Amino acid sequence: MSIVFSRIRAFHAVAEHGGFTAASRVLNVGQPTLTIQVKELEESYGVELLIRKSRTVELTKTGAALFEITRGIMKFCDEAHELLDAHGQSTKGHLRLATVGPFHATEILAAFNRDHPGVQISTLLGNSERTLRHITDFEAEVAILAEVPDDPRVVMIPYRTHRVVVFVNGDHPWFHRKSVKLHELADQRFVLRERGSTTRRAFEAAIQREGLTINPVFEIESREGVWKAVERGLGISVVADFEFVPHPNLRALEIQGRAIKTQYSVAYHKDRAHSPIIKAFIDTVSQMKAGFAKVSAKQPRRGT
């Protein structure tokens, strides 16, 4: 039995938008037509996909599983449109970038936008674990992340490597120091990002390898929250060196004895390697990496 695409499209729209009325507006198809198409899909396989309520719908267990599949199907349809639309023309479409922070994202997107001004761009910000899920769930075309386990569904391209540093406020006894030894950190109060944070994962792994423990007294999901907490004297924290912004009341300190590094990568779903927009983005990243290599070859480097 072959699946009728219009029925799959109708189901996906209803599931995505939470009801037949909203789906009909998005697809510009009459609500009775959508109702018939979804009902025919259910009857042809003898399954229940949606629980109809007065104004909304609820996915059954089977419906939720099918929705996970149709999300990928619809993305591939969008890419087919982009491929055909872009043939013989400049790259067009919508690029969604999931990223763990703004620094690398803005430098790459600025270069990408210069080469492909016709592409609409939006970003999703979160820790590395959430950023990886945006790729595996087809919610973003590309991602910038770090320190995540290998996933067979995802292609990872190494981009930049950075050192992790400690930072303290002006009232801390270490404020006038330039560095600190790793074992000294065990007695400190720490303000840290959530557990999925790139820098936190790299730092805690290094601490564990040395057989040390630290005292995290505050856990805050935002970078700004961590910085403000350290500035107010609630504890000290860690950050990738490139993310530290000079501040009159904050000082970054090198960690002696063990170089703690974070490897940032650009990622995309391997099933979407044919996407013209993804290919264009990876081309931009490759050109930037080549530029970094030339600069690094001419001068001593602090972090790659």
Q: Per residue of the chain (304 residues), what is the pLDDT tens digit?
A: 678 888 999 999 999 999 999 999 989 889 999 999 999 999 999 999 999 887 889 999 999 999 999 998 988 888 877 777 665 555 678 899 999 888 889 999 999 999 898 899 999 988 888 899 999 988 999 999 887 888 999 999 999 888 899 999 999 999 999 999 988 998 899 999 887 777 888 888 888 888 888 888 888 888 889 989 999 999 999 988 888 888 899 999 999 877 788 888 999 999 888 888 899 999 999 998 887 766 555 655 544 4
- Cβ pair 270, 155 in contact under 8 A: yes
Strand partners, 261: 163
- Cβ pair 275, 82 in contact under 8 A: yes
Q: 124 Cβ partners below 8 Å, 6+ apart?
A: 96, 97, 98, 99, 131, 134, 139, 140
Q: What is the pLDDT of residue 81?
A: 75
- Cβ pair 151, 132 in contact under 8 A: yes
Strand partners, 167: 237, 252
Residue 41 CA: distances (Å) to CA of 27, 55, 272: 18, 21, 27
Q: Which contiguous run of DSSP H or E holds residue 216?
A: strand 215-219
Residue type, 197: S
- Give the separation between CA 5 and CA 257, rounded to whole angstroms: 60
Q: What is the pLDDT of residue 55?
A: 80
Question: By CB neighbour count within 10 A (0-12 exposed, 13-18 middle, 19+ buried), where does 250 fall?
Answer: buried
Residue 273 CA: distances (Å) to CA of 4, 80, 181, 267: 26, 12, 44, 11
- Give the separation between CA 79 and CA 95, rounded to whole angstroms: 11
SS3 of residue 283 by DSSP: helix
Which one, of 252, 247, 193, 189, lies nearest residue 222 by Cα? 193
- Give the separation between CA 156 and CA 146, rounded to whole angstroms: 10
Q: 219 Cβ partners below 8 Å, 6+ apart?
A: 191, 192, 193, 194, 195
Question: By CB neighbour count within 10 A (0-12 exposed, 13-18 middle, 19+ buried), where does 51 fall?
Answer: exposed
Residue type, 32: P
0.75 cut: is pTM over it?
no
- Cβ pair 132, 90 in contact under 8 A: no
Domain with CATH 1.10.10.10 in the chain: 5-86
Q: What is the pLDDT of residue 89?
A: 53
Instruction: Report the topology of domain 160-262.
Output: D-Maltodextrin-Binding Protein; domain 2 (3.40.190)
One CATH from 3.30.70.980, 3.50.50.60, 1.10.530.10, 3.40.190.10 for 94-158+263-291: 3.40.190.10
- Cβ pair 128, 145 in contact under 8 A: yes
Residue type, 227: W
- Give the separation between CA 235 and CA 51, rounded to whole angstroms: 50
- Give the separation between CA 139 and CA 158, rounded to whole angstroms: 21
Domain with CATH 3.40.190.10 in the chain: 94-158+263-291, 160-262
Class of domain 5-86: mainly alpha
Strands 154-169 and 142-146: unpaired
Residue type, 115: D
